[in-house]
Structure 1
Amino acid sequence: MITARNHRFFHQLFTKRTSVLTSLLLAFMLAATTIQASQATTPWPQVAISKDGTPISYEIYGTGEPTLVFVHGWSCDSRYWRAQIEEFSKKYRVVVLDLAGHGHSGLLRGRYTMRAFGEDVRAVTEPTGSSTVILVGHSMGGPVIAEAARLMPERVIGLIGVDTFDNIEYPMTRAELDQMIAPLIDDFQGESRKFAQSMILPSTDPQIREWILADISSAPPFVALSAMEEMMAQFISGEAARIFDGIKVPVFSVNGDLWPVDYEANRRHMQSFATITLKDTDHFLMLDRPYAFNQALEQAIYAILRKSAKK
């Protein structure tokens, strides 16, 4: 029998449970909205098709101008720019990509040439619609961004090399190149690890060092060997320097101090050339010294924008 006392008890219990259920429902709806908002703003990787039909994986962050396109080096991928994406996407549109044969991009090519890599960069840059593009290239990414600049003269306002462009006139011979590649052909995993290790200082964070060595030595050998052959052959033919004769934008380089820079050789071909050198820094400075590197990169970007504004 339900008495008045029992009625009050059940009413209070129902009201309390309803209140709890309502709170839980509101919390669930808020969480779902947050997840949906997060999913809506997450810059998921996209795919562009390069000139030869190879799918190229890329990501875009931020909305500002100029557009910064970051190009990785030999046997690397877009992850090597992880310490730059958040910082630079606050002010600029940032594009990172995996060149063909690297990361999540396609493996359809018989030859991995610098010109074809340049087409990969063009494939992910043109959809942005930007007419103020600065290309940033690490190591092998240096000759790649030079090729891309030649393909997009109406968009590119400057090039920034990262530990590259030491001497674009370097007089390499065919015998030197064969000697360089032979060990990689015999034992790619072991020799590529040694090759990368020679460019990393003992003072570099051990975790970063091991990550780089493991990553580079696990690259597809055919892609790596082809890219190395094509890149170094440009020094034999003179194309490494000659390509800059037709590029009419300023070139900067943010370098470690492992190797000297031949300014005279570079300036014989480049419209203008300047470097920012970080002391006690190795080839992978954007990973090992991200704060100092980001400051230097910002200086180079600012210098390019000033030059562009004077035109």
Structure 2
Amino acid sequence: MRSVFQIFTLLLLSGFVLSSCNEPENKQGATQAATPIVVNNSGINIAYTDTGRSDTTLLFIHGWAINKSYWNNQVAYFSKPYRVVTMDLPGFGQSGKNRDKWDTKTYAGDVNKLIGDLGLKKVILVGHSMSGDIALEAAAENPGPIIALVGVDNFKNVGQPQNPNAAKEYAAAVAEMKRNFKKVAFQYMNQSLFSKTTTPDIKNRILNDVAKTDSVIAIASMEQQDPGFDEITALKKAGKKLYLINSDVTPTITKYIAARNIPFQVYYTKGTGHYAMIENPDEFNKLLDEVIEDMKKYK
């Protein structure tokens, strides 16, 4: 379980940038299908990119209030040896907005619908920030095609006892955001999600994307999350080793997950803020390469 502060951090942390259409085209010329597959989950369109050819797929899921374009560098780097899929979570980027459910379970259903419709068989799920729990729930519900879980600056205190006032404090934080979305989001992000090394260009990009997002959906995606989501139970159900690529600016507490005998491994980015994949993509890609190599040994 997670403290309210950490939940609030995770949800305010991520972003959903500009995104692209459903064009599964490889820059090297390879395509997955002559006609792009339209992915629709219960009437809502899911925008995605599909690049490269391999029986192993890296599926990248962005965090709160940004979009799939935050993974562009990873698409360019990993689509030579692997198939790479990025998606816009519904409500963000170019995916549909025509529903009223924005909780972890519903988003996990979107991920699994994409996996099923594209026929993906060996999937490494990579979830940034808020999408760590989404990826975990997707793996717990559909463990067959998913071979590994990678969290990006999340799962920082898996298994830690819950603060008894968590639900009340979380509701208060959401209420404050409803009163002034942009002010509260910007203040929190500037204080908690950026590091000393985060460049002005990157800060502006993220803050602009958050400012342009649909604030009603962004707030609802926070409000409908379960502060008591049991990550330990979900990890046991998924049966996957948990890999984390986390910033070393804030601590990752591992004693609780270690005590529950759940396999995990943490890799640290040095000095980056919450968005290592765009703040230091070379280091991030190197660490994800190491994760994949370890994954092969673990299997």
**TMscore range, shorter length:** 0.7 to 0.9
Q: Is 1:183 aligned to residue 173 of structure 2? A: no
Query: Is the contact made by 1:136 and 1:160 (CA closer than 8 Å) also made in structure 2?
Result: yes
Aligned to 2:6: none
Distance 1:46 1:58 in 2: 10
Distance 2:136 2:261 in 1: 11
Instruction: Name the CA shift for 1:228/1:241 in 2 (closer, same or farther; >3 Å).
Output: farther
Distance 2:261 2:69 in 1: 29
Distance 1:221 1:244 in 2: 31
2:294 is matched by which residue type in structure 1?
A: A
3-state SS, counterpart of residue 159 of structure 1: strand
Query: Is the contact made by 1:208 and 1:288 (CA closer than 8 Å) also made in structure 2?
Result: yes
Aligned to 1:95: 85
Measured after TM superposition, the shift of residue 278 of structure 1 is: 1.4
For residues 206-239 of structure 1, what are the alpha-carbon distances to aligned partners after superposition, in whole Å with 9 as ceiling and x for unaligned?
11110101111221112111111233x2x3x342
3-state SS, counterpart of residue 47 of structure 1: coil
For residues 242-273 of structure 1, what are the alpha-carbon distances to aligned partners after superposition, in whole Å with 9 as ceiling and x for unaligned?
32221111110001113211212223557311
Measured after TM superposition, the shift of residue 275 of structure 1 is: 0.5
2:153 is matched by which residue type in structure 1?
A: D
For residues 121-172 of structure 1, what are the alpha-carbon distances to aligned partners after superposition, in whole Å with 9 as ceiling and x for unaligned?
1111123333211100000110010011122211111100000110133524
Q: How does 1:204-243 map to 2 (within 5 A)?
A: 204-231=198-225, 233=226, 235=227, 237-243=228-234
Q: Structure 2: any 5+ residue segments left out of the alignment?
A: 1-25
Aligned to 2:187: 194
Question: CA RMSD, aligned part only?
Answer: 2.2
Please say which of residues 152-161 and 128-137 is displaced more in the overlay: 128-137
Query: Is the contact made by 1:130 and 1:155 (CA closer than 8 Å) also made in structure 2?
Result: yes
1:282 is matched by which residue type in structure 2?
A: G
3-state SS, counterpart of residue 47 of structure 2: strand
3-state SS, counterpart of residue 224 of structure 2: helix
Q: Is 1:108 aligned to residue 98 of structure 2? A: yes
Distance 2:183 2:153 in 1: 24
Q: How does 1:58-73 map to 2 (within 5 A)?
A: 58-73=48-63
Measured after TM superposition, the shift of residue 196 of structure 1 is: 2.2
Measured after TM superposition, the shift of residue 306 of structure 1 is: 2.0
Query: Is the contact made by 1:163 and 1:254 (CA closer than 8 Å) also made in structure 2?
Result: yes
Query: Is the contact made by 2:149 and 2:243 (CA closer than 8 Å) also made in structure 1?
Result: yes
More relative contact order, 1 or 2 (CA 8 Å, 6+ apart): 2
Aligned to 2:124: 134
Query: Is the contact made by 2:132 and 2:155 (CA closer than 8 Å) also made in structure 1?
Result: yes
3-state SS, counterpart of residue 126 of structure 1: helix
Q: How does 1:26-65 map to 2 (within 5 A)?
A: 47-50=38-41, 52-65=42-55
Please say which of residues 212-221 and 38-47 is displaced more in the overlay: 38-47
Measured after TM superposition, the shift of residue 193 of structure 1 is: 1.8
Distance 2:260 2:142 in 1: 18
3-state SS, counterpart of residue 156 of structure 2: coil
1:156 is matched by which residue type in structure 2?
A: I
Distance 2:28 2:152 in 1: 33
Give the TM-score of the pair, scaled to structure 2: 0.83
**Percent identity over paired residues:** 29
1:272 is matched by which residue type in structure 2?
A: P
Distance 2:271 2:173 in 1: 26
For residues 96-145 of structure 1, what are the alpha-carbon distances to aligned partners after superposition, in whole Å with 9 as ceiling and x for unaligned?
00011011111122120111111111111123333211100000110010
Q: Is 1:84 aligned to residue 50 of structure 2? A: no
Aligned to 1:156: 146
Distance 1:38 1:168 in 2: 38
Query: Is the contact made by 2:30 and 2:52 (CA closer than 8 Å) also made in structure 1?
Result: no
Distance 1:158 1:175 in 2: 34
Give the TM-score of the pair, scaled to structure 1: 0.80
Aligned to 2:285: 294
Please say which of residues 135-144 and 211-220 is displaced more in the overlay: 211-220
Corresponding residue pairs, total: 268
Judging by fraction of residues, say which structure has more helix: 1
Instruction: Name the CA shift for 1:129/1:281 in 2 (closer, same or farther; >3 Å).
Output: same
Aligned to 1:30: none
Q: Is 1:280 aligned to residue 296 of structure 2? A: no
